[in-house]
Structure 1
């Protein structure tokens, strides 16, 4: 897993890291309130709240941590539901809704799958407003994605009251913690039935454009869905390359939904501040494939659609519940953050 660190990385590591790290550019910084108090969001289902309390308890037991935060991606990854260990979560978890594009460490980990670690002084180089809002008790911070089935489900952030080395063993341990939380979350999602599965009922950001389309349980309907979305993207003035990639991913997801279920599916396309999010929800699919486990065998029947989506989209995700599967993908202008990244850590 790539890990982004602050500018002031321990000097004695620089010689051995020079060949492993690279640098890039970063966008404008925005404030990050200590409590991330934005729009109050409706709480997830009870089983997810149970998972959240357990996750916060596990995060709180990491040595040196005095505060932990937890975020879940929703709305095609455009929004995050956030809660923290210093909230009153005994009877019900207190969630708030935040913009996934606020430029802060946790949001970066969820958006990109890249961990962010460092001392508060180091991270102030990248996140000045965020660092200025922290209490004197915080000396270091680590934000890691929560990963399951090959993609990011959310993320967690740890506030340390003591300096941290963030050496390879510690980074591996924190990455593994995110993976374990992801497996547990996936298990909860599979057992959950949502009261309403209509994509049309999903909340939409102010000023965004959105359309929905129902696809019949017939492979011939895939072409109709493609044409509908292509016309919509043209009307919105989406550039040709982005539209082509969107149609390519959409075709794969809709085809998968029809092949693997006895029902059709629903499509939702949202354009919000030049970020295009497409969601496909079916009524009975039961399998999602980690694209990293798909071979290059051209005859492989499973996972090739998701492998293509993984390669073409900026990011993607899925939610599998007791009713069916929801898969979304995002296309946006390419950008990379300032910092130094290391290659994927070894899997355990």
Structure 2
């Protein structure tokens, strides 16, 4: 009797992360942003222990993220929404800082208590990685897990490689013809600008002048302009005290004025401790003043530097 023909095996979702290389091949030929998103959401959802996948792209000068997730994907149709880029959750953090966030929920609870408390019991861990861009991330990926991963070099490397391939695909689509399904992100109601300053005593004054010029033709109250100038001056002064490198000031205006001060320079000999959870104690009276004047503010620290931001409602 002849041997029976071998049975073709279906893809095993419990295989290691190596099958992400096949996802990379799909991304290379993707013809639109929706196809990129659908491929990422379905491909990553097939990994062992993954319960949910999220994908985000920065919009509005970085003020918000265009977001979708695997539970919003139906029959290949991607359902998008918007989230505030300054919400304090792992995905927005990786887009702001470019640094991955990975770990079990217990290890993330101190940094993100409200976010962790809102997760279902089945979620035990997560991994969020940025989509690299020219200078700053263009978006991010997050996977929610129902068991803890070791997050070893192989797992981290493959997730980060997937994010890089996704970023390359997005750049290719955005540089393509007008048939792309990506919406116009240069919206008339959103303005953004930035300035890079040297770390010296003149930087605070330059930041104030930059911000006043940025707001010069906007329909915003003079009181808001004065408050924003005072706050950016305090943040830049703090950056000068705690770094010897250059300082970036970024301003975004829509229904809020959001100002972020980023230092990426070499730390001074006796920097403020970045692992102190009481930022007012670390930075002193400057942030106490900001805290009293603005609607919202926050900060991020990573291996390359730190960012402190504030937001003021325009209306």
TM-score in terms of structure 2 length? 0.54
**In the alignment, what sits opposite 2:229?**
239
Do structure 1's residue 52 and structure 2's residue 42 form an aligned pair? no
Q: CA deviation at 1:310?
A: 10
Q: Does 1:168 align with 2:158?
A: no
More helix by share: 2
1:125 and 2:110 equivalent? Answer: yes
Aligned residue number for residue 88 of structure 2: 103
**Counterparts of 1:196 and 1:76 in 2: how far apart (Å)?**
14
How big is the alpha-carbon RMSD for the aligned residues of Structure 1 and Structure 2? 4.1
Measure, in 1, the Cα distance between the counterparts of 2:68 and 2:40: 11
1:198 CA displacement: 9.1
165 and 211 in structure 1: CA distance in 2 versus 1, 3 angstrom threshold: closer
Shift of the alpha carbon at 1:125?
1.8
Question: In the aligned structure 2, how far is the partner of 1:80 from the partner of 1:198?
Answer: 11
Alignment coverage as a number of residue pairs: 206
Matches within 5 A, 1:1-348: 47-193=32-178, 199=186, 201-202=188-189, 229=214, 231-232=216-217, 236-237=225-226, 238-239=228-229, 270=253, 273=256, 275-276=258-259, 335-337=299-301
Q: Is there any run of 5+ residues in structure 2 with no aligned partner, and where?
A: 1-30, 194-209, 234-250, 266-295, 305-315
Q: Relative contact order: is structure 1 or structure 2 higher (C-alpha 8 Å, sep ≥ 6)?
A: 1
Give SS of 2:78's match: coil
Contact 2:102 2:128 in 1 (8 A): yes
Name the residue aligned to 2:312: none
Whole-angstrom distance in 2 between the partners of 1:59 and 1:144: 13
| Alpha-carbon displacement from aligned partner over 1:278-303 (angstroms, at most 9, x marks no partner) | xxxxxxxxxxxxxxxxxxxxxxxxxx
Q: 1:138 to 1:48 in 2, by over 3 A?
A: same
1:211 and 1:144 map into 2 onto residues whose CA distance is 25
Provide the C-alpha distance between the structure 2 equivalents of 1:167 and 1:48, rounded to a whole number of angstroms. 30
Q: In 2, Cα distance between the equivalents of 1:198 and 1:176? A: 26
* Structure 1: segments with no counterpart, 5+ residues: 1-45, 205-209, 213-224, 244-267, 278-308, 313-331, 344-348
Per-residue CA shift, 1:41-81, capped at 9, x if unaligned? xxxxx821111111212322333212101111100111111
> Larger Cα Rg: Structure 1 or Structure 2?
2
How far residue 211 of structure 1 moved from its aligned partner, in angstroms, is: 9.5
8 A Cα contact 1:117 1:141, kept in partner:
yes
